[in-house]
A and B are shown apart, each in its own frame.
Chain A
Amino acid sequence: MTSAFPWLLLPLFWSARNRTRRREPGDGLRAALFGGSGLAVAGALFAIAFWLTWQLLDYEELGDYLIRLGLGWLFLTFLSFVAFSGVVSALSTFFLSEDLRLLLPAPVPQSRLFYSRFTRTVGQAGWMVVAFVLPVLLGLGLARCAPPGYYLTAVGTVVPFVVIPSALGCLVTLGLVSVFPARRARDVLMLMGLLFAVALVLLVRFLRPERLLDVQSLPDVTAFFATLQSPVTPFLPSFWAGESLFAALRGQLDLLHLGALWTSALALSVLVRAAYGRHHFSAWSKAQEARKARFTRFVFLDPLVRLLPMAAARRALLVKDLKVFLRDTTQWSQLLLLVALALVYVYNFRVLDLERIPYMSRLVKSAYAFVNLAMAAFVTAAVAVRFVFPAVSAEGPAFWIVRTSPVKLSSFLWSKLWTGLLPILVLAEALTIASNQLLGVDPFLRMLGAFGIAFMTLALVGLACGMGAEHPRFSAENPTQVAGSYGGVAFMVLAVLYILTTVALLAWPASIYIWHEHRGLPVSPGRQAAIAGALGAALLLSVATFWSAMRRGVRALEALG
């Protein structure tokens, strides 16, 4: 046995290396899309940090104060994220990882196993924060012409800053798994995380940050900053990180806060090591116990579905899909986030102040009606890629049951389509009708929006269902992986193209109609034909998108094997 603990991390690197060597179709597109988006976000963060710091240079003491406050808040935000991420990562690396069954019976000293798992946890919990924080700190340093010591301090600050919340996360996980079975703990955590995200989205939106851009509300800005001060406490690592970096920015070395960061990181690591030695094996053993799982029976579902006029096989598929979805915490909990996003979506239109430009109001409202249509369609596409696209892949290795049964694969795929289509149609219609109502748009546009989104939903859900069948990933661990696969990315690209084309095909004739109606002029027969042609083309495009995707999906399923 090789002595150093990094040996145990090698399979991780080898797997990553092998993944990059074995190219799958669409890897280039995916790498370009994700890599490009990542670089764009990093670039934007750098530019914002640089610009803000540059602007604050003019305000001397106030500028310094705001930078110091901003640094503290930046790290405070990330502190909670890394701590939560640490809890989830530790659950996976210390308890749920498949390779533990191989490593625990091997003659690996406990300390080596701990250090390898702890390194993995810190890496998994902290990489995203590092990726976000570094461009910000770089922008800050360059705008303030910081000395080289600042960049060294940045590295020396971020490392212990990530270790501290990760170690705390590990401690919480060890405690949790000592009480709950590991898989139950994962469900509880998933739900907590999601509720946290929902609360954050709602909180940020309902604070109405756009008010800060309004010149008339300047006194509010002062009050806003005043509220930011209170929670920052000198006992948190975020404060120490902010202070160390602020000192380094001015060419000083704040040994007190740097020392506090490093000693806390080391002390917590030692503490986690001790807790691991004492509790891990018993907690891991407990996680292996085959307990009868608690679950909701949904006894009302079978008789309810039996009322629907459909074949027995379709009924069986529908009941199965609903029960599997509703019993999987990682699945149904996503609905909470969806509800929060829908609320924010409608709320955005409620607070939109279009009356500020009275003479433009009608025109702006009409334009917004189409922006709204496009946005509702994007939301539909996003929901479809998360819930409908992975529907076939969700059968996983159990797909043999359907494939060896006397059920046509077309019936199977249509069943998946209907299960997804109806709830998404209700959501899309509700979003479009409610937001158009709040905007107060023309009745003609309201009707056009309601019909338009119905056809667009049909096309988008059909596209997601068909492409999901064409690019299945039966070995995927969760639906998010399926949605992020080559097929998922290709679906989003096609969906965006479809949405833009359809909105253009609807907006052009609608604008002609409204322009004529506004001026009280009759629409000429030629124009009428053009309007009908454009609307017909939008309808035809939707039906063709739906039909061809579903047909290709059925053919792909039939050709499996």
Chain B
Amino acid sequence: MILVESLVKTFGSFRAVDGVSLEVKPGEIHGFLGPNGAGKTTTIRMIAGLLKPSSGRVSIDGYDLAKEPEAAKRSLGFIPDRPFLYEKLTAAEFLRFHGGLYGLEGEPVEERARELLALFELSGWANELVESFSHGMKQRLVMCSAFLHRPQAVLVDEPMVGLDPRGARLIKDVFRVMSEKGVAILMSTHTLEVAEQMCDRISIIQGGRIIARGTVPELHALAGTDDPQLTPVFLKLTGGGAFQEIEL
């Protein structure tokens, strides 16, 4: 469903993403992990169509993002890490607007918007301006919009940022249901616990390259650790195991 082949992004002489390839199949939740500055967000932004790759290819639902951007984007839902929205629209108006961008209008969209607002516990705020929302509420509204057009693939950059435990639990449940319905989810996260609990497969990126990929047991085997947690695996693979004591 999401196919990334030899993706490269350079900023001047700096190679932020260096030949990343990955595939997320329908119904799969694929975790995308890596230390800060590893190239996760740059890769996600290229897949979302926000950043032009220096080379390589992205296709969504079989459509090449460079050649048929509209068709590819129609199948994709994107949840960015920072929920910038139109502050002077209400939540309901924002969803109506979002539906319009995907060519959807009328009662079916209104009905879908009501469902999603109820699911993400925003029904009481449907007719309030986005400017009066908290960060977590904006994040939940972005999720409503990402699922509004029933995408076949969802791209998520740091889904848990700004969410309370109740919201985080809700997102996990929603992602599970979506994946059961055949939606492919590529999720970048720093929360290893979330990745461990939810992801079918995980890719670890460092220095712009994928350095490890597999299921959680496969990554344990690759790192050669017996620790049941994912954190030591991550630290070992990314070279962060040498814990340096600092005076605090």
Question: Is B98's CB under 8 angstroms from A315's CB?
Answer: no
Q: How far is the CA of A560 from the CA of B52 in the complex (A)?
A: 8
Question: Which of A295, A297, A324, A560 interacts with B86 by CB under 8 Å?
Answer: A324
Q: How far is the CA of A323 from the CA of B130 in the complex (A)?
A: 13
Query: Chain B 59-73, CB within 8 Å of chain A: the 1/0 string?
Result: 000000000011111
- Judging by beta carbons under 8 Å apart, are B132 and A293 in contact? yes
Please, how many residues of chain A have a CB less than 8 angstroms from a CB on the other chain? 35
Contact of B50 among A293, A319, A324, A403 (CB under 8 A): A403
1/0 contact trace for A326-367 toward B, CB 8 Å? 011000000000000000000000000000000000000000
- B165 proximal to A (CB < 8 A): no
Q: A295-B129, A313-B100 are in contact. Are A405 and B73 (CB under 8 A)?
A: yes
Residue of A327, A405, A559 touching B88 (CB-CB under 8 A): A327
B91-108 at interface with A (beta carbon < 8 Å)? 93, 96-105
User: Does B101 lie within 8 Å of A302, measured CB to CB?
Assistant: no
Q: Provide the residues of chain B in CB contact with A17, threshold 8 Å.
A: none
Nearest CB of A to B140, in Å: 15
8 Å CB interface, A275-322 against B: 290-293, 295, 297, 302, 306, 311-313, 315-317, 319-320
Mark A210-252 against chain B: 1 for CB-CB distance below 8 A, else 0. 0000000000000000000000000000000000000000000
* Listed stretches B77-85, B193-201, B209-217; interface member: B77-85
CB distance A408 to B70 under 8 Å?
yes
Q: Kindly list chain B residues whose C-beta atoms are within 8 Å of the C-beta of A404.
A: 48-50, 73, 76, 78
Report if A561-B132 is in contact (Cβ < 8 Å); known contacts: A311-B103, A312-B105.
no
Q: Cβ of A295: which chain B residues have Cβ within 8 Å of it?
A: 88, 129
Seed contacts A295-B129, A401-B86, A559-B52; 17 additional CB < 8 Å A-B pairs: A290-B132, A290-B134, A292-B132, A312-B104, A315-B100, A316-B97, A317-B97, A319-B96, A319-B100, A320-B89, A328-B88, A403-B49, A404-B49, A405-B98, A406-B69, A406-B71, A407-B101
Residues of B within 8 A of A (CB): 45, 48-52, 69-74, 76, 78, 80, 82, 84-86, 88-90, 93, 96-105, 127-129, 131-132, 134, 145
Give chain A's interface residues, CB within 8 Å of chain B: 290-293, 295, 297, 302, 306, 311-313, 315-317, 319-320, 323-324, 327-328, 396-398, 400-408, 559-561
Question: Would you give 27 A-B contacts (Cβ < 8 Å), ordered by A?
Answer: A290-B134, A293-B129, A297-B90, A306-B105, A311-B103, A312-B104, A312-B105, A313-B103, A315-B105, A316-B97, A316-B100, A316-B101, A323-B88, A323-B93, A324-B88, A397-B84, A401-B85, A401-B101, A402-B101, A404-B48, A405-B101, A405-B102, A406-B73, A406-B74, A406-B102, A560-B52, A561-B45
